[in-house]
Copies of this chain bind each other. A is one copy, B any other.
Amino acid sequence: MQEVKHADELFKDFKAQSISEFFKKNAAMLGYTGKIRSLTTIVHEGVTNALDACEEAGILPDIHVRIEEQGNEHYRVSMEDNASGIPLRFIPQVFGRMLAGSKAHRNIQSRGQQGIGVSGAVMFSQVTTGKPTTIYTSTGKGPIIKALVQLDVKKNLGEILEKEKIANKWDWRGTIISLECKNVIYNKSRYSPYNYLRMTSISNPHSRITFIEPDGTRILYERSTNLVPEPPKPIKPHPHGATPDDLITMASNTAKKNLSQFLSHEFVRVSSPKALEVCKSAGLSDKMNPKRMTWEDAESIVKALSSIKFFAPPTEGLRPIGDEEIRKGLESTLSPEFTYTITRAPQTYRGGILFVIEIGLAFGGKAGRGGVELIRYANRAPLIFDQGGCAMTDAVKSIDWKRYGIRDIEKAPLTVFINLVSTHVPYTSAGKQAVAYEEEIFNEIRNAIMDAGRALSKFLSGKRRLYEKKSKMNTLLRYVPETAQSISLLTTAEKDGISEALERIINEKYNMIVEDEEEEPEPQESEETEGEEY
Q: Which of B2, B100, B243, B393 contacts A16 (CB 8 A)?
A: B100
Fill in one digit per residue for A88-123: 1 if any B CB lies within 8 Å of its CB, else 0. 001001000101111011100000001100000000
Interface assignment of A8: CB less than 8 Å from any CB of chain B: yes
Q: Which of B10, B97, B427 contacts A102 (CB 8 A)?
A: B10
- C-alpha gap A243/B25 in the complex (Å): 13
* CB–CB A57/B10 < 8 A: yes
Q: Which of B4, B13, B102 contacts A106 (CB 8 A)?
A: B13
Q: Which of B14, B33, B53, B58 contacts A90 (CB 8 A)?
A: B14
Residues in B whose Cβ lies below 8 Å from that of A244: 130
* CB–CB A139/B104 < 8 A: no
Known A5-B57, A29-B429, A390-B389: A93·B298 in contact at CB below 8 Å: no
Residue among A1, A6, A84, A428 with max Cβ neighbours from chain B (10 Å): A428
Query: Would you list the 8 A-B pairs with minimal beta carbon distance, nearest first?
Result: A389-B389, A130-B295, A28-B436, A429-B429, A388-B388, A7-B84, A7-B139, A16-B100
Interface assignment of A59: CB less than 8 Å from any CB of chain B: yes
- C-alpha gap A424/B388 in the complex (Å): 23
Q: Which of B5, B26, B56, B114 contacts A427 (CB 8 A)?
A: B26
Fill in one digit per residue for A23-36: 1 if any B CB lies within 8 Å of its CB, else 0. 00110110001100
Q: Which of B4, B87, B386 contacts A7 (CB 8 A)?
A: B87
Residues in B whose Cβ lies below 8 Å from that of A139: 6-8
Interface assignment of A140: CB less than 8 Å from any CB of chain B: yes
CB distance from A152 to the nearest CB of B (A): 12
- C-alpha gap A104/B21 in the complex (Å): 10
* CB–CB B128/A5 < 8 A: no
* CB–CB A100/B33 < 8 A: no
Interface assignment of A437: CB less than 8 Å from any CB of chain B: yes
Interface assignment of A368: CB less than 8 Å from any CB of chain B: no
Residues in B whose Cβ lies below 8 Å from that of A127: 243, 245
Residues in B whose Cβ lies below 8 Å from that of A430: 26, 29, 429-430
Q: Which of B84, B130, B431 contacts A298 (CB 8 A)?
A: B130
* CB–CB A28/B427 < 8 A: yes
Interface assignment of A493: CB less than 8 Å from any CB of chain B: no
- C-alpha gap A350/B130 in the complex (Å): 18
* CB–CB A2/B84 < 8 A: no
Residues in B whose Cβ lies below 8 Å from that of A99: 16-19, 21-22
- Could you give 6 example pairs across A and B, Cβ below 8 Å? A5-B231, A11-B102, A14-B101, A28-B436, A33-B426, A428-B428
Residues in B whose Cβ lies below 8 Å from that of A517: none
CB distance from A257 to the nearest CB of B (A): 22
Residues in B whose Cβ lies below 8 Å from that of A427: 26, 28-29
Interface assignment of A15: CB less than 8 Å from any CB of chain B: yes
Residues in B whose Cβ lies below 8 Å from that of A426: 26, 28, 33
Interface assignment of A434: CB less than 8 Å from any CB of chain B: yes
Interface assignment of A334: CB less than 8 Å from any CB of chain B: no
A245 to chain B: closest residue by CB: B127
Residues in B whose Cβ lies below 8 Å from that of A1: 228
- C-alpha gap A104/B102 in the complex (Å): 30
* CB–CB A245/B115 < 8 A: no
Interface assignment of A3: CB less than 8 Å from any CB of chain B: yes
- C-alpha gap A22/B429 in the complex (Å): 11
* CB–CB B14/A389 < 8 A: no
Known A7-B85, A127-B245: A105·B389 in contact at CB below 8 Å: no
Q: Which of B93, B243, B431 contacts A428 (CB 8 A)?
A: B431
Residues in B whose Cβ lies below 8 Å from that of A87: 7-8, 11
Known A15-B102, A426-B28: A389·B434 in contact at CB below 8 Å: yes
Residue among A26, A84, A427 with max Cβ neighbours from chain B (10 Å): A26
A123 to chain B: closest residue by CB: B245
Interface assignment of A375: CB less than 8 Å from any CB of chain B: no
- C-alpha gap A275/B129 in the complex (Å): 24
Known A87-B7, A394-B388, A428-B429: A105·B15 in contact at CB below 8 Å: yes
Interface assignment of A528: CB less than 8 Å from any CB of chain B: no
Interface assignment of A171: CB less than 8 Å from any CB of chain B: no
Interface assignment of A438: CB less than 8 Å from any CB of chain B: yes
CB distance from A227 to the nearest CB of B (A): 10
Interface assignment of A440: CB less than 8 Å from any CB of chain B: no
CB distance from A100 to the nearest CB of B (A): 4
Residues in B whose Cβ lies below 8 Å from that of A28: 426-428, 436
CB distance from A355 to the nearest CB of B (A): 14
CB distance from A141 to the nearest CB of B (A): 9
Q: Which of B17, B56, B84, B428 contacts A100 (CB 8 A)?
A: B17
Interface assignment of A248: CB less than 8 Å from any CB of chain B: yes
Interface assignment of A230: CB less than 8 Å from any CB of chain B: yes
Q: Which of B10, B26, B97, B389 contacts A386 (CB 8 A)?
A: B389
Mark out the residues of chain A between 58 and 72 whose CB falls within 8 Å of any chain B CB in the assembled complex: 58-59
